[in-house]
Structure 1
Amino acid sequence: MTVLVTGGGGFLGKSIIRALLDRNIATRSLCRGDYAWLREWGVDARQGDVANAQAVLDAVEGCDAVFHVAARVDIWGPYAQFYATNTQGTLNVIDACRAHGVGKLIYTSTPSVVHGGDAVSGVDESAAYPDHFEAHYPATKALAEQAVLAANSPELSTVAIRPHLVWGPGDTSMMPRVIAKARAGRVRMIGAPQKIDTVYIDNAVDAHLAAYERLGPSAAIAGRAYFVTQGEPLEGPAFINDLLGAAGLPPVTKTVSVGVARAIAAVVEGVWSLLRLEAEPPLTRFVVSQLSTAHWYDISAARRDLGYAPKVSYAEGMERLRAWVQNYPL
Structure 2
Amino acid sequence: MPLSSLSGSVSAALPPPSPLPPAAGGAALVTGGTGFLGRRLVERLLAAGRPVTVLARTPAPDLEACGAKFVRASLDDAAAVAGACRGAETVFHVAARVGVWGRYEDFYRTNVLGTRALLEGCRRHGVRRLVYTSTPSVVYNGRDLAGADESLTLTEACPSPYPLTKALAEREVCAASAAGQEAGHALRTVALRPHLIWGVGDPHLVPRVLERARAGRLRIIGDGRNRVDMVHIENAVDAHVLAERALAEAGGAAGAGQGSAAGKAYFVTNGEPVFLWDWINGLLTALGEPPVRRRVSLRAASAIGAVCETAWRVLRKRGEPPMTRFVAAELAKDHWFSIEAARRDLGYAPRISMATGTAELVAWLKEQATRRA
Interval containing the TM-score (normalised by the shorter chain): over 0.9
Q: Distance in 1 between matches of 2:139 and 2:192?
A: 13
8 Å Cα contact 2:29/2:55 also seen in 1: yes
Alpha carbons of structure 1 residues 42 and 246: separation in structure 2 relative to 1, 3 Å:
farther
Partner of 1:214: 246
Deviations along 1:9-35, one digit per CA (max 9) or x if unpaired, are 100000111111111111110001112
RMSD between superposed Cα atoms in Å = 1.4
Which residue identity is paired with 1:91? Answer: R
Partner of 2:295: 255
Aligned pairs (5 A) from 1:231-270: 231-245=271-285, 247-270=287-310
Pick aligned residue for 1:146 from 171, 174, 183: 171
- SS of 1:264's equivalent? helix
8 Å Cα contact 1:228/1:302 also seen in 2: yes
What is the CA distance between 1:243 and its match in structure 2? 4.1
8 Å Cα contact 1:194/1:235 also seen in 2: yes
2:212 aligned with 1:185, yes or no?
Answer: no
2:106 aligned with 1:81, yes or no?
Answer: yes
- SS of 1:328's equivalent? helix
2:20 aligned with 1:20, yes or no?
Answer: no
2:276 aligned with 1:229, yes or no?
Answer: no
- SS of 1:60's equivalent? coil
Q: Distance in 2 between matches of 1:56 and 1:280?
A: 28
Partner of 2:123: 98
8 Å Cα contact 1:268/1:281 also seen in 2: yes
8 Å Cα contact 1:246/1:318 also seen in 2: no
2:314 aligned with 1:289, yes or no?
Answer: no
Which residue identity is paired with 1:21? Answer: L
Which residue identity is paired with 1:53? Answer: A
8 Å Cα contact 2:155/2:163 also seen in 1: no
Provide structure 1 residue ranges, at least 5 long, that are not aligned to the other structure.
none
Aligned length: 330
Alpha carbons of structure 1 residues 244 and 9: separation in structure 2 relative to 1, 3 Å:
farther
Q: Distance in 1 between matches of 2:323 and 2:158?
A: 16
Pick aligned residue for 1:198 from 230, 236, 243: 230
- SS of 2:52's equivalent? strand
Q: After the TM superposition, list the runs of 4 or more consecutive aligned residues in structure 1 that deviate by more than 3 angstroms.
A: 242-248
8 Å Cα contact 1:246/1:321 also seen in 2: no
Deviations along 1:270-305, one digit per CA (max 9) or x if unpaired, are 111110112111100110010111111111101111
Q: Distance in 1 between matches of 2:283 and 2:123?
A: 42
Instruction: Name which one, 1 or 2, has greater alpha-carbon Rg.
Output: 2
Deviations along 1:236-272, one digit per CA (max 9) or x if unpaired, are 1023224434554322111111111111111111111
User: After alignment, is 239-248 or 81-90 more displaced?
Assistant: 239-248
2:84 aligned with 1:59, yes or no?
Answer: yes
2:71 aligned with 1:46, yes or no?
Answer: yes
User: After alignment, is 4-13 or 147-156 more displaced?
Assistant: 147-156
Q: Distance in 1 between matches of 2:120 and 2:280?
A: 40
Deviations along 1:56-79, one digit per CA (max 9) or x if unpaired, are 122111111100000111111111
Which residue identity is paired with 1:296? Answer: W
Q: Distance in 2 between matches of 1:130 and 1:5?
A: 27
Alpha carbons of structure 1 residues 164 and 97: separation in structure 2 relative to 1, 3 Å:
same
Which residue identity is paired with 1:270? Answer: T
Q: Distance in 2 between matches of 1:137 and 1:171?
A: 20
Q: Percent identity?
A: 48
Q: Distance in 2 between matches of 1:96 and 1:27?
A: 17
- SS of 2:351's equivalent? coil
TM-score by length of 1: 0.97
Which residue identity is paired with 1:188? Answer: R
User: After alignment, is 244-253 or 52-61 more displaced?
Assistant: 244-253
TM-score by length of 2: 0.86
8 Å Cα contact 1:242/1:318 also seen in 2: no
Q: Distance in 2 between matches of 1:168 and 1:66?
A: 24
- SS of 1:5's equivalent? strand
Which residue identity is paired with 1:165? Answer: L
User: After alignment, is 78-87 or 32-41 more displaced?
Assistant: 32-41
Partner of 1:9: 34
Q: Distance in 2 between matches of 1:245 and 1:81?
A: 39
Partner of 2:141: 116
